[in-house]
Structure 1
Amino acid sequence: MNISWGWMAATAVAGLVLAACSPAPQAQEPSTPTAARCTVTRGTELAPSSGILSGVNLDWEHGTLQQYTDGLGRRPAVVVSFTQFPFTAADATNVEAAYEQVRAEGGILLLTLEPRKGLAAVTEAVTDKLAGTLDRFNKAGVPVIARFAHEMNGSWYEWGQKPAEYKAAFRRVAGSIHRLAPGSATMWAPNYGGGYPFTGGAHQAVAGTAAHTALDTDRNGEVTGADDPYAPYYPGDDAVDWVGMSLYHWGNTYPWGANVVPEPGKFLQQLTGKYQGDGGNDLAVPDFYGEYGKRRGKPVAIPETAALSVPSRKGAAELAIKQAWWRQLFDAQIPKDYPQLKMINWFEWNKNEVEVRAVVDWRSAGTPAITKAYTADLPDWFRFAPEREDCTPGS
């Protein structure tokens, strides 16, 4: 059953707020490095051989990475930051500040690149300059995964539903990174396909255009929920190092935003194209994990996830909602049954969501009680950042 594109756009809101609303992250200086040169791990080797990398989408405006780490008692293995791309001067400053925080605390920087000025602006000169910056970060001990133009199958972003232009731009980014920043990697990350093609968005593919034809995978003259929401946008195995998908619990039924406990099994059902529940029948959505993780052998990430809790509304308790969701993420069978799932990043924000007309507290570490429950449920296979390396950046 198709659902309103606006709900899916709400998922996208979580992915653009850093670039749109937040000031630069405050830089944190690492301790004085020794004379040893930093170790550069190849970008293609960032996925752990076992277990799953833990990550966080931080609200940089209201806290630092060190504060989050101190509160949780652990250093996340992955830290997410968003930026317009190509960079403005302010964007470049923000990216440098995020890098400095990760350098100080340790871990991988997941840098989400948003081409707000259009895909044509992503030229080879721009991507080569980006790769030079990432290589400098790598040589200072900070691996980077670049998530370019996420949720490109949605209709709410400037780069959305333009499969040919998107794939060409992604390949330019990947070509530069693979050639000039071998300590970095790429990530291809569409939006979950439930509700595709998200009718009504400002950037929906128009009938009669080449884009519309390319998205009509069943060749019936229309783009509907029966068409593949992922494959037309895939840039190719040689360009993609990681695959990812944002999966949030926004509630169980339209219009979304109610304080309700997630249905059992919802997370894995959506990841594998088996969801048919209170939110509708999504059985037409392909098995993302099976196609891109298992068949193509790519490490799979959940770059953003959380469970909606609206403090101003009645309903299920915050802990009941969030704990039910993170326990699905921490299912003991996941490392055994889904070994290609290699990263899960929580969305650590308390913010107004236009789609639900309320402030939503997404955080897993927002209060002592929630933090205590979250940390108590963390599985032993959840990988946190190793000890930070004191080193001199290589040249």
Structure 2
Amino acid sequence: MAVLMVGLTPPPAGAAATITLSGSAGTAGAEVTVTGAGFPKRTKGTVVAGTSRVAVTTTSTGTLQVSIVPGGSGTVTISAAVGSTAASAGYTVLAAAPGTDSAKGIRFGVGTGGGPAAGSELDEVAALAGEAPSIVLSYKDFNQPAPIAELETVRARGAETLLTWEPWTWGGGTEQPAYSLDRIAAGDFDAYLREWGSALGQWGQPVYLRFGHEMNGDWYPWSEGVNGNGAGDYVAAYRHVHDVLRSTGAMNVSWVWNPNVPYWGSTPLDGLYPGQGYADVVALDGYNWGTSQSWSSWQDPAALFGDGLAQLRRLAPGTPIVIAETSSSELGGSKARWITDLFGYLSAQPDVVGLVWFHIAKEADWRVDSSTASVEAFATALDARR
């Protein structure tokens, strides 16, 4: 007995429904367009993207198209189901630019001596500042595996990691030929890079990765002019590391290009910037050394950061900016006043979306609570920031 089915036409025998996405990854809150073919004609269905869901009706040819904002973070599945016919594709939700998910415009981050695993240190800073940091600074050299447990610890605190990846052996000095930039670009470390990429990609949560920071100085072996490195070697190595990690599917990684604030004699930034598509965030490290060193003098925030910010905007227009390391000495001026001025200065820079305080007594006492006046100024300025 023949059965007449009205309004529901199955796809031809052997045909498989498919969907394509307008992109394989996007920042949190961004729309993705889902286009499908091979579905039953003129039939209602559903498109699901992570925790988001929208209704859809196919056309007379069995196609569909809809825009949806994927819900969730990391790797999510986007699927279209029409009747008993379904198709799916993978998509990665990248972290939004730092600052976009905060009630305040500038996100507060911190680096402590114990790093992400030192929860008591992070709790102490939160108590001093009156606010828990939403960015936690971390450091790893080229002898360590991807720190997934630490990343997860930070995520459990409701924060994200700014993961510094340093191509050297800690404590080995600037002359470490095993880690020359040309060796990195030539692929000598590719197996290690793929291990990191696979681990980060499988973890799947947002992480900010700054490879070879402060490259315009001369105190690290990945700088040009030391360790046998020449002009152009940094960009070649950076791009190679970026491309290898991307090839493993680590689309949850946001790349941070992070020079030191330019100074007399530093390597010009023009030859160190890896180019559009290689940096999701650009950053600066800058400290007010005051008179703590024989060569240093007091610098107010505008003098310290002004030129560097201008150069970042010229090289990477429209890219979010983070101050990835900063602090002030107590010697040579008022640290409390400097902190107040810093937050005021950065609050007037709409593209600066994050600030990470270096809370360690090292070359100077960089900690928030190096004095009563300092910690009081910090808590007040943090609360009043944009």
Deviation at residue 230 of structure 1 after TM alignment = 0.4
CA deviations over 1:18-52 (Å, ceiling 9, x no partner): xxxxxxxxxxxxxxxxxx99633743623334711
Q: Specify whether residues 134 and 46 from structure 1 end up closer, same or farther in structure 2 by C-alpha distance, changes over 3 A only.
A: farther
The equivalent of 2:262 in structure 1 is: 193
- The 5 Å alignment of 1:86-235 reads 88=143, 91-92=144-145, 95-116=147-168, 117-118=178-179, 119=181, 120-121=183-184, 123-139=189-205, 143-161=206-224, 162=229, 163-179=231-247, 180-197=249-266, 229-235=268-274
| TM-score normalised by the chain length of structure 1 | 0.61
SS in 2 for 1:361: coil
- Is 1:341–2:341 an aligned residue pair? no
SS in 2 for 1:327: helix
SS in 2 for 1:147: strand
Deviation at residue 164 of structure 1 after TM alignment = 2.3
**Bigger Cα displacement from structure 2, 153-162 vs 118-127:** 118-127
Deviation at residue 243 of structure 1 after TM alignment = 1.1
Bigger Cα Rg: 2
CA deviations over 1:256-313 (Å, ceiling 9, x no partner): 467xxx45xx32334332xxxxxxxxxxx893243135xx221111110000136xxx
Deviation at residue 55 of structure 1 after TM alignment = 0.8
SS in 1 for 2:241: helix
Which is richer in strand? 2
Which is richer in helix? 1
- Take 1:286 and 1:71, find their aligned partners in 2: how far apart are those partners? 29
Deviation at residue 126 of structure 1 after TM alignment = 2.6
- Is 1:364–2:368 an aligned residue pair? yes
CA deviations over 1:134-166 (Å, ceiling 9, x no partner): 224434xxx211110111121221111134222
The equivalent of 2:306 in structure 1 is: 272
**Identity in percent:** 28
Q: Specify whether residues 76 and 194 from structure 1 end up closer, same or farther in structure 2 by C-alpha distance, changes over 3 A only.
A: same
The equivalent of 1:205 in structure 2 is: none
Amino acid at match of 2:107: L
Of 239, 243, 250, which residue of structure 1 is paired with 2:278? 239
- Take 2:72 and 2:369, find their aligned partners in 1: how far apart are those partners? 32
The equivalent of 1:68 in structure 2 is: 125
- Take 1:151 and 1:129, find their aligned partners in 2: how far apart are those partners? 25
Q: Specify whether residues 152 and 299 from structure 1 end up closer, same or farther in structure 2 by C-alpha distance, changes over 3 A only.
A: same
8 Å contact from structure 2 (residues 111, 359) kept in 1: yes
Q: Looking at both structures, which has the greater relative contact order when contacts are Cα pairs under 8 Å and sequence separation is at least 6?
A: 1
| TM-score normalised by the chain length of structure 2 | 0.62
The equivalent of 2:66 in structure 1 is: none
- Take 1:270 and 1:68, find their aligned partners in 2: how far apart are those partners? 24
- Take 1:134 and 1:348, find their aligned partners in 2: how far apart are those partners? 27
Deviation at residue 371 of structure 1 after TM alignment = 2.7
The equivalent of 1:288 in structure 2 is: 311
SS in 2 for 1:346: strand
The CA RMSD measured in Å over matched residues stands at: 3.0
8 Å contact from structure 1 (residues 75, 106) kept in 2: no
Unmatched runs of 5 consecutive residues or more in structure 1: 1-35, 198-227, 274-284, 354-359, 383-395
